[in-house]
Structure 1
Amino acid sequence: MFLVSKNKIKHWLGTTIVFTSICISWPVLADNATSTQIIDCRASEYFNGWPQEGMKLGGHIPNAVNIRAQWLDNMSVAERTHFLVDQKQLNKNQPIKIYCDSGNAKKLQQQLTGIDFKSVAIMQKPLSDFQDQLVALPHFKTLVSPRWLNLLVSHSSSNDAQLVAAPQHDFKIIEAGWGPATGYLLSHVKGAIYANTNDFESKPLWNVVPPAQLQQNIEKLGITQDTTVVLYGRDNLGAARIAQILMYAGVKDVRLLDGGWEAWQAADLPTQSGNNSVKNVVKFGAKVPAHPEYITDVSQVKIMLKDSDNNSLVSVRTWSEYIGDTSGYSYIKPKGRVDGAKWGQGGKNSNNLDDFTNPDGTMRSASEIQSKWQAWNIRTDQKVSFYCGTGWRASAVFLYAYAMGWNNISVFDGGWYQWSLDGNNPTLTGTPSAVH
């Protein structure tokens, strides 16, 4: 039995949990609290905090690991074992309890026992019995699912009750991409307008455009500070880049389609072709940028690096980029990292963030991400700035951190590109001898 007073806040694996009942017990763990492993095999949206149909609250049972049966379908036995044991840290010899719908729970149970997991049971009690215990990301609404976006697109009085966290004012759906809107014109989410990343960042450094130009380009899209903006992309990193810049500008409600265009297609949801134009240019309604703290420049980075215990400059590039084996870009010649930067994980190349995403492209669980950051002394009580080559990957990680409730965060806008162009800026290559 675990008792807490009403509305007391606890922290579990770095994620804030708000308990609203006076007495809480964890019967699912009561038989073997130190060894029972729990798997939540539902979609990541529900794991992160969106309420499932029939429930008031969303989230997952504390300590649960998010694993979907669908993720394992196209994996070999060796790949499944690596994913479950090495990445998800499951122990084959300790008991496992699974919860999701019966069909997927049985499928996952068979997949696990098929690779020698010894004791795999399906939780019989409905998840609603544990509703007051569930752990949710503090800002889970930042990441939306195709299901939610489809409800928004088809929003009417008949489905008002289904639309959790509905926009408070008007909304805009934006497909973001670099260059001409070729793919968008062929097929896109109904009602979406196209935004070119070139309108938000500019050569030669690909930093955010000046405030006056930024405000003008935002207003041309029909966006005010009160507009709810939902973004997605064929490369979702570009959508994340614009999303982060909109937050910097002062848009109060910015959301990202978790998994991007691929998630929308995988859900087999309606699309349309052609172009949706903005009918009216609006006034933004606030000074731009309203949140200058969300973007960090070179001079601010140099100040941060003087105190590595209270600040973290975090490289979210690949390990090969971090240690200087490659620059990661055809147009960036210098290799290495900012001297003093910590490694916050990345992906297999400069175009993805595999270390931060599930097999379906959605965000990995907060506990998995934060455990890797803790190993590099990247903490919630620090001022943290993420950087990559020019800003796309860093913006996506910024949004993940924001969804997880990290408050004092920013993107180092110039990234490795701007830093490395000045030979007076200290850089390093090679494997660090110790974590900073």
Structure 2
Amino acid sequence: MKKVLVLIIILSSILFGKNITTNEILEKINNPNWILVDTRDTNEYNGWNLSNLKTTGHIKGATDFSYNWLNKKYLDNKNEEILKERLLEKGINSEKNIILYGVSETNMEQISNYFKKNGIQNIYFYNLKNNEDYNKLPFESYKNYEILVPASWVKNAMDKKEVKVFEVSWGSLKDAAVYVAGHIPGAPHINTDSIEPPPKWMINTDENLIKFAEEMGISKNDSIVLYGDNVMASYRLAIILKYLGVKDVRVLNGGLDAWKDAGYETEMGIVKSTPIKDFGSKKPINKKLILNEQEVKKVLKDNKNSQILVDIRSYKERIGEESGYSYMDRKGRIPGSVWGKAGTKSTTLEDYRNIDNTMRNANEINSMWLELGIDPNKELTFFCGSGWRAAEVLFYSEVMGANNNSLYSNGWMEWSENKSNPIEIGKENGK
């Protein structure tokens, strides 16, 4: 009988991985042959306490691989390839010992099975709730993790009537089919044309932006949560509201999908906003957050001493193979800017997101920047075609703790329209 029991334990360890103790993790935490992997909700990795633990954030030095990334709705062929690339980037491979930690045995086993399908066999488990001394481990959180919120926080704040929630997307209500079909209960729709009017889709005037805020019922003293089906639009408006001076602007991490993944209901139809008479300021309070063309030229003149202009566009846009937009003819890049990557086309941002459209972890973003020659300790001004992608990256940099970064909101659209502005085309440094 004892032999059978021993055999079962051995087989269980081979098939599912074996448990590891807190002291064993402390011994191996700085060993490059051991990789700690946080399997929880991405928001918990960032700093939110969603599991009623005694500490918040992630174990210092750990990478992440959330159980939600194995949700079938995200695993199309493209995302499968991205996940495999991320395993390599995170150093998760067959030569390393992998410690999966979290609060759910089921989630850890699911991830373990996925890893094993990809040839990764040396797997150990660490359940935070089964190890009462887990707070002996060093934990860390992003400095401003609270501006990027989980769905549960939004639901709780809405129930207490502490926030105003808005859905943000392009198009009037006639065109906003996703919103009408199902949105967060009580959330009015915001058409991005209100903040960047066609046909050029450059940022509206300060006066009109404040009028827009008043029409939507947003004052500078409000707490606002933004979300959308296309998360990029939320970040675009978030930066503009911060620029105007709204005191508390947050974005739902993962957008509408995150709300649905949490099991919360949506409602159909249209919710109208309640206008107010006074925003609380006649002009933007945080003027340094959004730069104009002349201010960007001063950034370039600094020649990377303390400021860097970062290009958040696809590689093809960067080298001038395409403009990225049907309404932009001129192609190329701003001389003196540094490429910060983005995605494969003008509407995507894979390099900065997980496959469920949550923010990618800060260590990977910083490592990517350093490889590209971008010092995250300098003042970074981000631009893209017309401000959407760059605004999202700027917001992420604020989550990570940056306080002095900014947005060249009109980006390539404005720069390329001015024929007196220089441009460059072609590969850089032979690449």
> Given the two structures, how large is their TM-score scaled by the length of structure 1?
0.85
Answering whether residue 200 of structure 2 is matched by residue 197 of structure 1, we say no
CA contact (8 A) 2:41 2:68 kept: no
Partner of 2:164: 172
Task: Say whether residues 1:235 and 2:233 are aligned partners.
Answer: no
User: 2:244 pairs with 236, 240, 249, which one?
Assistant: 249
Contact 1:250 1:289 (C-alpha < 8 Å) held by counterparts: yes
Unaligned runs of 5+ in 1: 1-24, 157-166
Larger Rg: 2
- Go from structure 1 to structure 2 and tell me whether the alpha carbon gap of 1:249 and 1:117 turns closer, same or farther (over 3 Å shift): same
Distance 1:398 1:84, change over 3 A: closer
Q: Residue in 2 aligned with 1:398?
A: 394
State yes or no: 1:144 paired with 2:141. no
Higher helix share: 2
Whichever residue aligns with residue 223 of structure 1, its letter is I
Q: How many residue pairs align between the two structures?
A: 398
Q: Cα distance, 1:309 vs. partner?
A: 2.8
C-alpha distance in 2, partners of 1:271/1:185? 10
State the partner residue of 1:5.
none
User: What is the aligned-residue identity percentage?
Assistant: 31
CA contact (8 A) 2:100 2:108 kept: yes
Q: How many Å apart are 1:276 and its aligned residue?
A: 2.0
Structure 1 CA distance for aligned equivalents of residues 204 and 405 of structure 2: 20
- 1:81–1:115: 8 Å Cα contact kept in structure 2? no
Cα drift, residue 84 of structure 1: 4.4
Change (3 A) 1:434 1:399: farther
How many angstroms apart in 1 are the aligned matches of 2:82 and 2:190?
Answer: 38
Cα separation, partners in 2 of 1:53 and 1:391, compared to 1, 3 Å = same
CA distance 1:339–1:121, change in 2 (3 Å): same
**1:231 aligned counterpart, secondary structure:** strand
Asked if 1 retains the 8 angstrom alpha-carbon contact of 2:35 and 2:91, the reply is no
The DSSP-based 3-state class of the residue aligned with 1:322 is: helix
Match of 1:60 among 58, 61, 67: 58
Select the residue among 423, 428, 431 that pairs with 2:424: 428
> Does 1:30 pair with 2:27?
yes
Cα distance, 1:185 vs. partner?
Answer: 2.6
Q: CA deviation at 1:46?
A: 0.4
Decide whether the 8 Å contact of 2:105 with 2:127 is kept in 1.
no
- Does residue 46 in structure 1 map to residue 44 in structure 2? yes
Query: Matched residues in 1 for 2:374 and 2:165: separation?
Result: 34
Q: In angstroms, what is the RMSD of aligned CA positions?
A: 2.3
How big is the shift at 1:277? 2.1
Could you list the per-position Cα deviations for residues 88-113 of structure 1 after superposition, in whole angstroms to 9, with x for gaps in the alignment?
33232111101111111112122212
Residue 80 (structure 1) shift: 7.7
1:145, CA displacement in angstroms?
1.6
Shift of 1:265: 2.8
**Aligned partner of residue 208 in structure 1, secondary structure:** coil
2:381/2:405 contact within 8 Å kept:
yes
Which of 327, 331, 337 pairs up with 1:331?
Answer: 327
Listed as ranges, the matches of 1:293-372 within 5 Å are: 293-306=288-301, 307-372=303-368
Partners of 1:331 and 1:323 in 2: CA distance: 18
Over 4 Å off, 4+ runs: 75-78
Contact residue 153 and residue 190 of structure 1 kept, 8 A: no
Does the 8 Å contact 1:224/1:282 carry over to 2? no
Inter-partner Cα distance in structure 1 for 2:298 and 2:166: 36
SS state of the match for residue 406, structure 1? coil
Contact 1:153 1:191 in 2 (8 A): no
* Maintained 8 Å contact 1:385/1:412: yes
In structure 2, distance between residues paired with 1:122 and 1:84:
21
Unaligned runs of 5+ in 2: 1-21
- Tell me the amino acid that sits aligned with residue 30 of structure 2: A
SS at match of 1:207: coil
**Greater mean alpha carbon deviation, residues 68-77 or residues 83-92:** 68-77
The alpha-carbon distance between structure 1 residues 33 and 249, as it changes in their structure 2 partners (threshold 3 A), is same
- Whether the aligned pair in 2 keeps the contact of 1:97 and 1:123 (CA below 8 Å) is yes
TM-score after normalising by structure 2? 0.86
What is residue 373 of structure 1 aligned with on the other side? 369
Provide the residue aligned with 1:220 in structure 2: 215
Residue 154 of structure 1 corresponds to which residue in structure 2?
159
Output the amino acid matched with 1:93. Answer: E
Q: 2:284 — aligned with what? A: 289
